[in-house]
Amino acid sequence: MLLAACDASMASAAPLQFVKQRAGISHTLLVDNLKKDAKGVPSFDFTYTQQSGGCKYVLSGKAVAGHEEVDGKLELEIYNPQGPGGEQAPAIMTFYAGEDNFTLPVKDVLKPHSVTYLKLLDATARAKSCDKKADRIEIVFTKTTR
């Protein structure tokens, strides 16, 4: 579903660090320069790190909210997913950085309490990652530290 959303004000939050341990691998996501441009399109810089033993795998880039302009109006990609029991969950916004995909809650898009990160791994990326068997990175970060 596409909806016009968010004001066009510039805003920037302090860097956020999300950390999660899973299957012996430490996953860290640093979100920085979280802001909206003059048209109201949110974006952020990110650094994702996996660490396990002597392995360290790092990805970084800039993620921009999915959007398009229709008849001179900005429309952002906003979805209302189903939560447990089929009830409507809070709205989320999708961000893209090439093959990296993120979703953040619309309510807290400039100060998120959770971020979902998804990236499909080709053979080259899988060989560099700390989990050589995984065909994707799919992780929900919910706990933040500063």
Give the residue-averaged pLDDT of 54-65.
96
Phi, psi dihedral angles at 120 (to 5 degrees): -80, 135
Q: Where are the domains of the chain?
A: 2-145
In angstroms, the CA 49 to CA 141 distance is 13
pLDDT of amino acid 30:
96
pLDDT tens by residue, 27-52: 999 999 999 999 999 999 999 999 99
pLDDT tens by residue, 97-106: 999 999 999 9
pTM for the whole structure: 0.84
Give the residue-averaged pLDDT of 128-138.
92
What percentage of the chain reaches a pLDDT higher than 70? 88
